Structure 1
Amino acid sequence: MTSSLRRLLAKIIKKGSLSVSGPVGSQTFGNGGGRSVSIRFTDAKAEEEIAADPQLKLAEVYMDGRLIFEEGDVYDLLALVKDNTLSEALTPGMIWRGLYRVAEARVRRAVPVNRNQRNVAHHYDLSAKLFDLFLDEDWQYSCAYFNPPGISLYEAQQAKKRHIAAKLLAEPGQRVLEIGSGWGGMAMYLAESSGVEVTGITLSQEQLRVSRDRALKRGLADRVRFELQDYYYLHREKFDRLVSVGMFEHVGIQNYGRLFRKVDEMLDDDGVMVLHSIGQPSPMRFNSPFIEKYIFPGGYIPSLAEVMPAVEKAGLLVADIEILPMHYAHTLRHWRERFMARRQEAAALYDERFVRMWEFYLAASEMAFTHENFFIFQMQIVKKRMSVPDNRGYIAQREERLKQFEATRAPLEPVMF
């Protein structure tokens, strides 16, 4: 007797080849051309669980070791499914579950509770040794900028910092606030390259510890300080420049107005902000149940249509928006390959289930950029239109000067745990 999952796959997989084996028997789906994946289930119940709730159970079954890849990997499977049309395969159970998740997400947004620190700690307070397995030497945990194409991950992360610094138009002596300062790499780069004083705020105890240690050892403690602080509770102080890289995805749509009103309060009248965030082509109905449960609770990926009204209502002006469509796909591929090359070390830190969870997270995130039109946007925000030049040539000019600084910059020291 065929399983519910296999009846579902027969409707979905028309292009490519998916071979499925296990207690229910062996079967191949698709026309045999293009992408080829082969999987094996260890028990029949696993297939029924995935058929009932593929958005969550595919990940959980894989995490539990009940789905084994004979050919290909997690990314290949997800991409193969996305290569095909899914709408005609929706079951009544999937539709009802989707409607429930939409309703649940709307209730959560309508009754906002500040769980920022708890949500951030869930992910970023994992062992620093874990992130050392796959990040570049500066521990940049956001989209790199592969310009020119083919450069290394470290070079692309340096290009990202350079690109953002150029857009900030930072000048010596200015005060900069970084909202979501990570492990301190961007703050230290800005201080050294532009002669500014930087305050970085984070909600992660582990990131705070590492970033303070890095700044101290680099001799920057007098120009770069890091605080455990929620942006909303900052005192009424002004900054010449604001920068936020990879933090906006954790704000939640219900808090956009609050964030940009705070930006208006903190940004000097002639100030400039650069906001770097993941975006998607249309408003999200609900967060991925796997991502919500295991990776980024409370996260939300916006469309530009959801961001712009909040910026405008705060009385701020958008000076520039740049879309980077595929750079995060390249970044995530680097991270996944580096992580999987050291999977035994990750398993020693946690366990095999964690390794499979992290692999699924990195693969699913990459697939969002290769198959679902996700992108990175960099939004330059000002209070006065002429706070930035009226042409974009200054970006390349400043990047050339920053390259000269990078050529003489002292090498980064390894992060100490």
Structure 2
Amino acid sequence: MADAALRLKNLVEQLLAAPLPLRLRAWDGSEAGPPGAPALVVRNRRALRRLLWKPGELGLARAWVAGDLGIEGDLYTALDLLAGLIWERGDDARTLAQALRDPAFRAAVRGLAKLAGPFPPPPPPREEARKLRGHLHTRHSDRRAVSHHYDVGNDFYEIVLGPSMVYSCAYWDSPDGTLEDAQRDKLELVCRKLGLKPGQRLLDVGCGWGSMAIHAAREHGVSVVGITLSQEQAAYARKRVADEGLTDRVEIRVQDYRDVTDGPYDAISSIGMAEHVGSERYLEYARALLALLKPGGRLLNHQIGRRPQRDETTYSVDAFIDAYVFPDGELAPLGTTVTQLERAGFEVRDVESLREHYALTLRQWVTNLEEQWERAQRLTGPGRARVWRLYMAASALAFERNRIGVNQVLAVRTPEPGASGLPLRARTWN
């Protein structure tokens, strides 16, 4: 079969009703498609079987994770072309049900099935998260989901995140700046928005590897309780706290936010954690944090948000992200987040979008991973390393194309008779 690439290209274009902007390289060495474009490498016919059994994003993801598919050339360019072809076709894209009524589409499916060879469904790569039965976002399911994502190994995260070990959007002064400076500036921005002063108590919800807790205690003289559901994160954070000589001011706990009872706190930071809460639990989350704050206390909620859908009742979580990256994660529109915080009793005082900042951060994380690719694969396995490279590169493009954003929402437990305690001029953060 010396013409597999050309046959595959013609079938794919027939299925998509659009020209394929990438080159195709097939398992027989044949190539087809525009010269000079990045190449989608189909290493075996099993990749086609994955796509036939799971059409769409999940089939593509499984083939990528298993190594059945690859990209030759610039990864961002390839993903950008694929995004415009598959994920962002809007109202012009046919649903599968509509497409199956088209005789030409059905003929292309039959041709793809013939090209794919023997037809049993390949098992998913082992890195795929197994779903639990029952309700989402119980204490047990949240702990399991967090472990899937964060207990990959601290050595692996050191490669990706660099010395700062901050796993959230950095705050860049310039695209030419360093990741370390940008992450330091982000932590300082959060501290200033919270108005931290020596002697105050800070609760850091989803404390990760301890970077925010350490920065706040060392630079602003506060006492910090950091909570996480990840045992590996907690062990790493405690060692960092000890190495900094801050054990008298920083406590790291493995604890669910629903189980914190030692308030009140002067301030709460929640950085990149609320995405795990879920829409069903979000009001509960907001009320729990409000109850832990002193009157006049501030919450800084740093959270990824998606664009609103035409019909919010039909929104589903990204299949690849849900299966391989953040099981049970949910993204809400910014307006929904603000509304829920206000329903809980907060007064929302400031919203700042950092969308472009996250794109820059993700591109640097991808560079870090690629520079130590062989070591990363040894530490976590080839499949998981491929998951991370695809997820971070695709996410960078999603931020750049305004498909998703990230926002810092500053909210206050405003006391009676209504003085918030914030400065009269916005964003001086004193």
Deviations 1:154-197 (CA, angstroms, capped at 9, x unpaired):
01101101111110101111111110111111111111111111
| Aligned equivalents of 1:162, 1:275: Cα separation in 2 | 15
| Aligned equivalents of 1:56, 1:387: Cα separation in 2 | 49
Task: Report the alpha carbon displacement of residue 23 of structure 1 after superposing the two structures with TM.
Answer: 5.3
Indicate the SS of the match to 1:394.
Answer: coil
Structure 1 residue 22 and structure 2 residue 21: aligned?
no
Q: 1:112 to 1:130 in 2, by over 3 A?
A: closer
Indicate the SS of the match to 2:67.
Answer: coil
Structure 1 residue 188 and structure 2 residue 210: aligned?
no
The match for 2:15 is 8
Task: Report the alpha carbon displacement of residue 315 of structure 1 after superposing the two structures with TM.
Answer: 1.4
The match for 2:428 is 394
CA root-mean-square deviation = 2.5
Gaps of 5+ in 2: 1-6, 101-132
- After superposition, residues 53-68 of structure 1 pair within 5 angstroms as 53-68=55-70
Task: Report the alpha carbon displacement of residue 131 of structure 1 after superposing the two structures with TM.
Answer: 0.5
Structure 1 residue 172 and structure 2 residue 210: aligned?
no
* Alignment partner of 1:287 out of 310, 317, 330: 317
Deviations 1:245-293 (CA, angstroms, capped at 9, x unpaired):
1111111111111011111211100111111111122157111111111
The match for 2:104 is none
| Aligned equivalents of 2:175, 2:366: Cα separation in 1 | 19
Task: Report the alpha carbon displacement of residue 207 of structure 1 after superposing the two structures with TM.
Answer: 0.7
The match for 2:42 is 41
Task: Report the alpha carbon displacement of residue 353 of structure 1 after superposing the two structures with TM.
Answer: 2.0
| Aligned equivalents of 2:180, 2:98: Cα separation in 1 | 42
* Alignment partner of 2:367 out of 337, 358, 380: 337
Give yes or no for contact 1:12–1:86 (8 Å, CA) kept in 2: no
Give yes or no for contact 1:38–1:69 (8 Å, CA) kept in 2: yes
Task: Report the alpha carbon displacement of residue 144 of structure 1 after superposing the two structures with TM.
Answer: 0.4
Task: Report the alpha carbon displacement of residue 236 of structure 1 after superposing the two structures with TM.
Answer: 5.1
Give yes or no for contact 2:282–2:340 (8 Å, CA) kept in 1: yes
Indicate the SS of the match to 2:330.
Answer: coil
| Aligned equivalents of 2:222, 2:356: Cα separation in 1 | 31
- After superposition, residues 117-266 of structure 1 pair within 5 angstroms as 117-235=143-261, 237-266=263-292
Indicate the SS of the match to 1:61.
Answer: helix
Structure 1 residue 86 and structure 2 residue 89: aligned?
yes
Q: 1:112 to 1:162 in 2, by over 3 A?
A: closer
Indicate the SS of the match to 2:425.
Answer: coil
TM-score under structure 1 length normalisation: 0.84
| Aligned equivalents of 1:201, 1:138: Cα separation in 2 | 18
| Aligned equivalents of 1:350, 1:118: Cα separation in 2 | 18
TM-score under structure 2 length normalisation: 0.82
Indicate the SS of the match to 1:206.
Answer: helix
Bigger mean CA deviation after superposition, 87-96 or 53-62: 87-96
Give yes or no for contact 1:79–1:371 (8 Å, CA) kept in 2: no
Task: Report the alpha carbon displacement of residue 94 of structure 1 after superposing the two structures with TM.
Answer: 9.3
The match for 2:123 is none
Q: 1:63 to 1:197 in 2, by over 3 A?
A: same
Give yes or no for contact 1:325–1:369 (8 Å, CA) kept in 2: yes
| Aligned equivalents of 1:112, 1:149: Cα separation in 2 | 37
Q: 1:258 to 1:65 in 2, by over 3 A?
A: same
What is the percent sequence identity of the aligned residues? 31
Q: 1:340 to 1:9 in 2, by over 3 A?
A: farther
Task: Report the alpha carbon displacement of residue 135 of structure 1 after superposing the two structures with TM.
Answer: 1.0
The match for 1:105 is none
| Aligned equivalents of 2:387, 2:173: Cα separation in 1 | 31
Q: 1:113 to 1:177 in 2, by over 3 A?
A: closer
Task: Report the alpha carbon displacement of residue 304 of structure 1 after superposing the two structures with TM.
Answer: 1.4
| Aligned equivalents of 1:112, 1:220: Cα separation in 2 | 33
Bigger mean CA deviation after superposition, 203-212 or 230-239: 230-239
Q: 1:149 to 1:70 in 2, by over 3 A?
A: closer
| Aligned equivalents of 2:270, 2:136: Cα separation in 1 | 26
| Aligned equivalents of 1:89, 1:20: Cα separation in 2 | 22
| Aligned equivalents of 2:14, 2:425: Cα separation in 1 | 56
Q: 1:348 to 1:112 in 2, by over 3 A?
A: closer
Indicate the SS of the match to 2:22.
Answer: strand
Structure 1 residue 348 and structure 2 residue 348: aligned?
no
Deviations 1:205-256 (CA, angstroms, capped at 9, x unpaired):
0011011111112110000111111011111520001111111111111111
Indicate the SS of the match to 1:221.
Answer: coil
Question: Which AA in structure 2 matches 1:386?
Answer: S
Gaps of 5+ in 1: 97-107, 399-417
| Aligned equivalents of 1:347, 1:214: Cα separation in 2 | 25
Q: 1:69 to 1:81 in 2, by over 3 A?
A: closer
Structure 1 residue 301 and structure 2 residue 308: aligned?
no
Q: List structure 1 runs of 4+ shifted beyond 4 angstroms.
A: 1-4, 93-96, 108-112
| Aligned equivalents of 1:131, 1:230: Cα separation in 2 | 22
